Amino acid sequence: MARAAVVGAGMTKFGVHDKPLQELFGEAALPALDDAGVEPSEIDAFYFGNAMSGQAENDTHLGPKLASHVGMAGVPVQRFEDACATSSNAFKNAVEAVDAGIHDVVLVGGVERCTPETGQDTAAMTRIFASASHRQYEQPTGLTFPGVFALFTKRHMHEYGTTEEQLAEVAVKNHGNGALNPNAHFGKETTVEEALDGPIVADPFRLMDCCPFSDGASAVVVVSDELADSYDAPVDVSGVGHATDVVPIGDKDTPHVTQAARDAAAQAYEQADTSAAEMDFAEVHDCFTGAEILASEALGLVEDGEGGPAAEAGRTARDGDVPINPSGGLKAKGHPIGATGTAQLVELTEQLRGTAGERQIDGADSAVAHNLGGDAATTVVTVMEVRQ
């Protein structure tokens, strides 16, 4: 028995959007409702994620604003904020609610704007993003989020010999996948040479190692296992793990292992009675190329230290033995913070239905999503499977 099922999915194109948050969210939520074939009146509750709209746009208390806009004023709405893991935490709570019998049909989604359309330039948005690092014990150093993952990645390079070329291979792969995704922020392929020629943001990361600032929204309709078969195209949610780690980075035992991801993955695999070896592909939180390498190891898709060589050897390509980020990932699809988690689940839903078009992973039956927040201090890992 599944914990829940996704019966509808929708997302906007990720990129630059000159429209208010509620309109952007409507462009994901209404298609998700239509995909599920449910009316707003059938929705019992709304689980919603947005990380930074108060800081970026002076726009808070979004729950009832968005519910009003999409025709479900009156439903209980809960908003989640867990940095980049925001909407996957909303999803986790939604799954728990239907699994526990509290609700039958719920809407889950996220929306965020991070581009200069918010009125915030790169330096201002870099500071807003950095608010997810420790205010007293990390931010005063001038740490940025590229810097956070650079600290993890350089230690990984020191321990295992991971190279800048291997990081560039991740960017090349994800841009290639993104070029096949009509909803991706970047639709252009790149090369290792181009990636290695870019300006340094925070070493070892160059421009092409970093995800963009994006605007966008995503949504899924989640129903209980008992109701799933009454919908046209249910996809099972078999497990959702969620763990945190110590903040700040200096107090983590071994920062580059991203322990929260390992703990969350163990929970998700156990709930689903499955293992990393059974996963046909993964959507992971590649906010930076190094983050994908760390995630591939933390999820058990490759051995520790093998993330770099696996990327270089093409093992993580769509036709490899452990395909990672067929959507293009955060790197190419884009990263509107609060929309990223549910967007990964939109990709899992489409792939497991076999409707992902040119980027379809043939015969995908099981997949895992990994959504990480802050200095790797929150991670939610979700296993979804074709409904039996």
Residue 32 Cβ, how far from other proteins at the closest point, in Å? 35
Burial 101-116 (b: 16+ CB within 10 A, else e): eebbbbbbbbbbbbbe
**Host H or E run for residue 160:** helix 145-160
By beta-carbon proximity to other proteins, the closer residue of 98 and 293 is: 293
By beta-carbon proximity to other proteins, the closer residue of 62 and 298 is: 298
By beta-carbon proximity to other proteins, the closer residue of 244 and 275 is: 244
By beta-carbon proximity to other proteins, the closer residue of 121 and 362 is: 121
Is 242 marked active-site?
no
**Rounded to an integer, what distance in angstroms lies between the CA atom of residue 297 and that of residue 156?**
11
What is the bridge-based pairing of β-strands 105-113 and 45-49? parallel
Residue 137 Cβ, how far from other proteins at the closest point, in Å? 5
Q: Tell me how far CA of residue 239 lies from CA of 177, 193, 275, 293, 337, in angstroms.
A: 26, 40, 11, 23, 23
- Residues lying near other proteins in the complex (CB under 8 A) are found at 121-124, 126-127, 130, 134-144, 146-147, 150-152, 154-155, 158, 199-204, 246, 248-251, 255-256
Is 210 marked active-site?
no
Residue appearing with tokens 């899992």: 348
Residue 373 Cβ, how far from other proteins at the closest point, in Å? 17
By beta-carbon proximity to other proteins, the closer residue of 256 and 331 is: 256
**Phi, psi at 283, each rounded to 5°:** -105, 115
Residue 169 Cβ, how far from other proteins at the closest point, in Å? 20
Catalytic one among 69, 103, 256, 335? Answer: 335
Residue 5 pairs in a beta bridge with 223, 236
Half-sphere exposure of 327 (CA within 13 A, CB side): 33
Catalytic one among 84, 210, 211, 287? Answer: 84
Which one-letter DSSP state was computed for residue 200?
E
Residue 247 Cβ, how far from other proteins at the closest point, in Å? 9
DSSP string, 28-43: HHHHHHHHHT--GGG-
State the catalytic residues. Answer: 84, 335
